[in-house]
Structure 1
Amino acid sequence: MDRTQKCLPMFPSRLGTLVHDYKRPGTTTLFAALSVTDGTLITQCQPRHRHQEWIRFLETIDRETVTEYDLHLIVDNYATHKHPKVKAWLKKHPRLHVHFTPTSSSWSNLIEG
């Protein structure tokens, strides 16, 4: 694992130090939607997590679910989910209702678990 900054060396009377963040080569973003009624999943892996990828995933959800039902999507407060283009897309698709989890409550997100 490569750190974003050099580690400070150890010497008498001081331990070596590490920065808390690290480079993540080869990572991906997982978008996932869970139906709590029957446990089915809709998933997509994307190289990034921008509003463009989020809209693409919303289109997948819209396409792969029964059109007669309204869908309630519970998402975290990531800025991508609130982007103006996402809001505009959601206005054109009124059956999708987005609800945001409180900040620092990833434990309440079933996908995170």
Structure 2
Amino acid sequence: MLWGMSETGQVYSFGGKTMELSIETPEFQLSKIFPNENQADIARVDAARPLFEGDAVGRIQVGTRKLQNTNLDWSALKETHPETGFAYFREQSRYQRFRLNVSGDWKKAYALQIDGRVSGRR
């Protein structure tokens, strides 16, 4: 539901069918976030899980690139597993970005959990 107020103080409410949610994250260098001892700069994304409330389906894509001056390559759009909530990948690169779609009767969406690991240095 969306609420609004006019300059004269009248309150308006807007409602309707829940629309599909689409979010694209900024680019990360996940190897700097994941704990590692070797100071590696390549990370592998194994899975991602959108955290949301409601009866909905999440779908995720991972965008990767080796260098910032190259084009972004997007993985196939993967649906989350109904029991674990994760979409599974094996995307390895230096820079990562995520696209998230949630469709259905969702109420709140608040995070994206990323399962990955440092995988080496080039």
TM-score by length of 1: 0.33
Q: TM-score, normalised by structure 2?
A: 0.31
Q: Which structure shows the higher helix fraction? A: 1
Indicate the structure whose relative CO is greater, using CA pairs within 8 Å and at least 6 residues apart. 2
